Amino acid sequence: MQTSVSSGMTQTQSTKRRGRSAGLQSREALAGYAFILPALLTLTIFLILPILASAVLIFMEYDILSPAKWVGLANLKRLVSDNRMLLIYRNTLVFVVGATFLNNIGGLMLAMGVNRAMPGVLRYLLRTAIFFPVLTTTASLALVWQFLLTQDRGVINYLLSQIGVDPVPWLSSSTWALRSVILYDVWKSLGFLMVLYLAGLQGIPESLYEAARIDGANRWQLTRYVTLPLITPTAFFAIVISLIGAGQVFDNAFVLTGGGPGDASRLIVLYIYEVGFKRFEMGYAAALSLTLFAILIALTMLQFVMARRWVHYE
């Protein structure tokens, strides 16, 4: 009898403990949801809902001032006959390839440069100076570059004239405008890529370099057979995010050249902005956004497939 009573008390205590544990877990879960609620609301309001609205607007004719009207596939059919869009996508392709290539090559070279042995103060000053443009607003930097690149009174053309080079129409020529936007983007973004590659370089074990030196490897062989293979995961990440970022660039061309002259430096996001917020053709702007989304997704998936051939993980 005493044994059964003791067993019953034990079961009761065990049930109470489970109840307290379940209550504690519920309170912890509620606290966790409360902490992530602001982020979820922000994500929903500023990302998920606009994406859903864009998906609906593709089939609408909407100018903000009047009610939306269903037009079916008219906006998608219009894409096929939009020759201007093809020219702008060509500009965007040139910009993406040029900016992604130069940013990653330059970022890796700068990272290898500042990763060498040097006085701590000099290392700090170099890294700060290179990264500083990343922290500055694009609008203010673009205004400075407009001053630097002005054909008649620009600082760069003045310096070129001192060595006998004729003034270059950096921003007013259809040949140079897009190149100027690419150079500006590279100058502004190099610091961010440098930090990524620097983190990758510092993650390579020093023991691998020591083993290679014992085997007689010189500096080039250390770079070729140790640094470059082990930096490929970082390079893959850097290429993916820089390509996606370059495909969505807006402010560089908007402030520096306004897309001109003509459409020489107009990029696809700037075109989407003009169609949607200057011409108030929200449905067609949504259709253009869909093409950009599909292209970026396809390019990203292609990079993940190709990464199996050249990315080496430890």
Q: Please spell the DSSP secondary structure of 50-119, one letter per residue.
A: HHHHHHHHTTEE--SSS--EE-TTHHHHHHHT-HHHHHHHHHHHHHHHHHHHHHHHHHHHHHHHHTSS--
Q: What is the pLDDT of residues 30-46, one digit of tens each?
A: 888 888 899 889 989 98
Lowest average pLDDT, out of 13-27, 96-110, 151-165, goes to 13-27
Could you give the 3-state DSSP secondary structure of residue 169?
coil
Q: Are the CB atoms for 78 and 283 separated by under 8 Å?
A: no
Report the DSSP beta bridge partners of residue 60: 70
Q: What element of type H or E holds 32? A: helix 2-43
Identify residue 28 by its one-letter amino acid code. Answer: E
Mean pLDDT confidence for 164-190: 89
CA distances from 85 to 62, 89, 92, 207, 267 (A): 20, 6, 10, 53, 9
pLDDT at 24: 67
Q: What is the pLDDT of residues 74-89, one digit of tens each?
A: 898 998 888 899 999 9
pLDDT at 23 over 80: no
pLDDT at 117 over 80: no
Q: What is the pLDDT of residues 234-273, one digit of tens each?
A: 999 999 999 999 999 998 888 888 888 888 999 999 999 9
pLDDT at 292 over 60: yes
d(CA 313, CA 233): 7
pLDDT at 20: 62
d(CA 214, CA 11): 67
- Rounded to the nearest 5°, which phi and psi values hold at 25? -65, -40
Q: Which residues contact 223 (CB under 8 A, 6 or more apart)?
A: 112
pLDDT at 143 over 50: yes
d(CA 8, CA 21): 20
What average pLDDT does the chain have?
Answer: 86
Query: 15 falls in which pLDDT band (50, 70, 90)?
Result: low
d(CA 238, CA 196): 7
In the block, which residue shows the tokens 């998906």? 55
- The DSSP call for residue 167 is P
Q: Are the CB atoms for 264 and 174 separated by under 8 Å?
A: yes
pLDDT at 157 over 60: yes
Q: Are the CB atoms for 106 and 190 separated by under 8 Å?
A: yes
Q: What element of type H or E holds 45? A: none
Q: What element of type H or E holds 168? A: none
Cβ-count burial of 37 within 10 angstroms (0-12 exposed, 13-18 middle, 19+ buried)? Answer: exposed
Cβ-count burial of 19 within 10 angstroms (0-12 exposed, 13-18 middle, 19+ buried)? Answer: exposed
Q: What is the pLDDT of residues 118-133, one digit of tens each?
A: 787 888 888 888 888 8
